[in-house]
């Protein structure tokens, strides 16, 4: 008898992929080449790799729209520098902005230069501790495995994101690092905040580069 994986909630739970980000060109964030070649049966392979029975996300609350607009502004600045337009903001427990950043991988040559990692580093420096208890990470695109892992390590209370990343998302799309019950810390996850705006920014960026 098949038994549901206890890491991912009740069997049959669904999810709503609102505002899914477009497939990027080679070299961009979310490029399949960064995670190996998708073969002839690419769609089936990705479905096999997805977390079984992912958790259904609640509707996006409007309370994070202001912070997401700040993250979108960071993403727009990143695009102007030739970076994939992803922006992130860290809010303190009272909702004040601790740090904000956009992707900087191309300019810095740093493979870890994603917006989330940079914002978490800056927030930790501002607080004087690596522990960001009670803080919220707001990002325009669903975090990858690296950034989801950084969110877990930083002990943020929640992660709020805009567009879904079906090819590399680690908050319920391809993996669900943030809610894996084997981990010692599992932040709350809220998806879909200004998802259309976030996805449109990515679409415009990659369309212009084709």
> Which residue has 């208890």 as its token pair?
133
How is residue 121 written in tokens?
A: 């580093």
Greatest Cα pair distance, the chain, in angstroms, is 54
66, 116, 166, 188: which is the annotated catalytic residue? 116
> In whole angstroms, what is the distance from residue 72 CA to residue 198 CA?
7
Tell me if 188 sits within 8 A of 158, measured CB to CB: yes
Tell me if 88 sits within 8 A of 118, measured CB to CB: yes
Task: Please indicate whether residue 116 is annotated as part of the active site.
Answer: yes
Tell me the catalytic residues.
116
């Amino acid at each position: 008898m098949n038994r549901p994986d206890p890491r991912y909630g009740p069997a049959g739970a669904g999810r709503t992929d609102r505002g899914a980000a477009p497939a990027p060109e080679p070299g961009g964030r979310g490029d399949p080449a960064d995670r190996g070649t998708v073969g002839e049966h690419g769609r089936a392979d990705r479905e096999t790799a997805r977390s079984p029975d992912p958790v259904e996300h609640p509707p996006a609350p409007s309370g994070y729209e202001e912070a997401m607009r700040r993250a979108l502004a960071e993403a727009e600045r990143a695009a102007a520098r030739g970076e994939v337009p992803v922006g992130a903001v860290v809010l303190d427990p009272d909702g004040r902005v601790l740090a904000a950043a956009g992707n900087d991988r191309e300019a810095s040559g740093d493979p870890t230069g994603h917006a989330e990692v940079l914002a978490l580093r800056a927030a930790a420096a501002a607080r004087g501790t690596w522990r960001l208890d009670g803080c919220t990470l707001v990002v325009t695109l669903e975090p990858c495995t690296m950034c989801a892992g950084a969110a877990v390590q930083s002990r943020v209370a929640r992660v709020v994101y805009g567009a879904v990343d079906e090819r590399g998302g680690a908050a319920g799309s391809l993996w669900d690092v943030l809610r894996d019950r084997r981990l010692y810390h599992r932040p709350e996850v809220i998806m879909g905040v200004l998802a259309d705006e976030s996805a449109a920014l990515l679409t415009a960026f990659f369309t212009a580069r084709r």
